[in-house]
Chain A
Amino acid sequence: MLLHNRLKYARSKYGQPLVAFPLIILFLGGIAKAADPLDWPNWRGPRQNRTSPETGLPDRWDPKGGADSNVLWKRDDLGSISTPIVLNGKLYTIARSEPGTPREGEKVVCVDAATGETLWENKFNVYLSDVPDTRVGWSSCVADPITGNIYALGVCGMFQCLDGETGKTLWSHSLHEEYGLLSTYGGRTNVPILFDDLVIISAIVIGWGDMAKPAHRFLAFDKNTGELVWFKGTRLLPYDTTYSTPTLSVLDGQAALVFGSGDGAIWALQPRTGNPIWKYQFSRRGLNVSPLVAEGKVFAAHGEENIDDTTMGGLVGIDPSGAGPEGSNGEKDLTKTGTIWRNKEVMIGKSSPLLIDGTIVVVDDRATLMGFDAKTGERKFKKKLGTVMRSTPLYADGKLYLCTANGRWYTLKIEGDKVKTLYKMRLPAGEGCYGSPIVSHGRLYVPTTEHLYCVADSVKTSGSNSETPLPVESPVDADSAASYLQVVPAEALIRPGDKITFRARLYDKKGRVLRQVPAEFSVQGPGEIKSNGVYTAAEGRAHTASSVRGKVGSLEGTARVRVVPDLPWTFDFQDKAVPITWVGARYRHQPRDVDGKRVMVKVSTIPKGARSRAWMGHPDMHDYTVEADVRGDVQNNKMPDIGLIAQRYTLDLMGAYQQLQIRSWVSVMRMAKSVDFPWSPNVWYRMKFRAEIEEVDGKQRAVLRGKVWPRDQAEPDAWTIEAIDESPNLNGSPGLYGNAKDAELYLDNIKVYTNQ
Chain B
Amino acid sequence: MREEKKRLWFAISLVFTLIGFSSAYGDESLTADKVTKEWAQWGGDSRRNNTPEGKNIPTEWSPGEFSGNPAIWQPETAKNIKWVARLGSQTYGNAVVAGDKVYVGTNNSGGWLARYPGKVDLGCLLAFDNLDGSFLWQDSSEKLRTGRVHDWPLQGICCAPLVEQDRLWFVTSRGEVKCLDTEGFYDDQDDGVAVGWGRMFDITKKQDKSADQVQPAVTQLDAGELPVVIRDSFRKAGSTVSEKAQVTTKVAGKSWFISAGPGVKSGDYEVRLMGPKLSGFKKISTEDKQESDVVWVYDMMKELGISQHNMCSCSVTSAGNILFVNTSNGVDESHILLPSPDAPSFIAMDKHSGKVLWTDSSPGINILHGQWSSPAYGVLGGVPQVIFAGGDGWAYSFAPAGDGKGNAKLLWKFDCNPKESKWELGGRGTRNNLIATPVIHDGLVYVAVGQDPEHAEGNGHLWCIDPTKRGEVSPTLALHVDDPDNTIPHRRLQAVDPKKGEVARDNPNSAVVWHYDKQDQNQDGEIDWEEEMHRSCGTVAIKDDLLYISDFSGLFHCLDAKTGKVHWTHDMLAAAWGSPLIVDGKVYIGDEDGDVTIFKLSPEKEILSVDEYGDSGPINMGNSVYSTPIVADNVLYISNKTHLFAIAQDEDDDKAEKSSAADENKD
Contacts and interface: CB of A to CB of B under 8 A. Distances in A.
Interface of A: 130, 132-135, 184-185, 239, 284-285, 305-306, 308-313, 345, 347, 366-368, 384-388, 405-406, 426, 429-430, 432, 449, 604-605, 607-608, 610-611, 636-638, 654, 656-657, 666-669, 739, 741-742
Interface size class of B (residues with CB under 8 A): 35 or more
B427 interface: yes
B275 interface: yes
A284 B107 CA distance: 14
B425 A310 contact: no
8 contacts: A285-B154, A310-B71, A311-B623, A368-B593, A607-B146, A610-B145, A611-B149, A742-B146
B301 interface: yes
Given A133-B425, A388-B457, 20 more contacts: A130-B335, A134-B424, A134-B428, A284-B119, A285-B154, A310-B70, A312-B642, A366-B575, A384-B574, A386-B573, A387-B457, A387-B552, A405-B457, A610-B145, A656-B338, A656-B339, A666-B337, A667-B336, A667-B425, A741-B149
Contacts of B641: 312
A132 B331 CA distance: 14
A750 to B, nearest CB: 24
Interface string B50-81: 00000000000000000001110000000000
Contacts of B553: 387, 406
Contacts of B70: 309-310
B233 interface: no
A246 B260 CA distance: 55
Given A387-B554, A607-B145, A134 B427 contact: yes
B368 to A, nearest CB: 13
Interface string B126-167: 000000000000000000011111100110000000000000
Contacts of B472: none
Contact of A387 (B69, B148, B573): B573
Interface stretch (B86-94, B194-202, B439-447, B541-549): B86-94
A284 B108 CA distance: 13
Given A309-B69, A387-B574, A387-B592, A405 B456 contact: yes
B175 to A, nearest CB: 11
Contacts of A668: 425
A385 B573 contact: yes
Contact of A656 (B336, B340, B575, B622): B340
Contacts of A741: 146, 149-150
Given A636-B305, A742-B339, A384 B457 contact: no
B19 to A, nearest CB: 39
Given A134-B426, A387-B457, A310 B333 contact: no
A610 B336 contact: no
A742 B88 CA distance: 29
A636 to B, nearest CB: 5
Contact of A667 (B86, B110, B119, B335): B335
Contact of B89 (A305, A429, A667): A305
A666 B109 contact: no
B580 interface: no
B339 A185 contact: no
Interface SS of chain B: loop
Contacts of B622: 345
Contact of A130 (B88, B148, B333, B459): B333
A478 to B, nearest CB: 39
A386 B426 contact: no
B89 A312 contact: yes
A184 B332 CA distance: 12
Contacts of B529: 426, 429
A132 B429 CA distance: 13
Contact of B302 (A308, A386, A636): A636
B592 A366 contact: yes
Contacts of A388: 456-457, 575
A305 B642 CA distance: 11
Given A666-B334, A667-B335, A636 B301 contact: yes
A608 B69 contact: no
Interface string B105-120: 0000110000000110
A135 B302 CA distance: 34
B330 interface: no
B624 interface: yes
A132 B148 CA distance: 17
B370 interface: no
Contacts of A306: 89
A185 B333 contact: yes
Contacts of B593: 366, 368, 384
A610 B333 CA distance: 12
B614 to A, nearest CB: 15
B147 A285 contact: no
Contact of A638 (B71, B149, B305, B457): B305
B341 interface: yes
Contacts of B363: none
A184 B575 CA distance: 26
B458 interface: yes
B328 to A, nearest CB: 16
Contacts of A385: 573
Given A366-B592, A384-B573, A608-B148, A449 B333 contact: no
B428 A430 contact: yes
Nearest to A306: B89
Contacts of A430: 428, 458-459
A637 B335 CA distance: 21
Contacts of B69: 308-309
Interface string B438-466: 00000000000000000011110000000
B575 A387 contact: yes
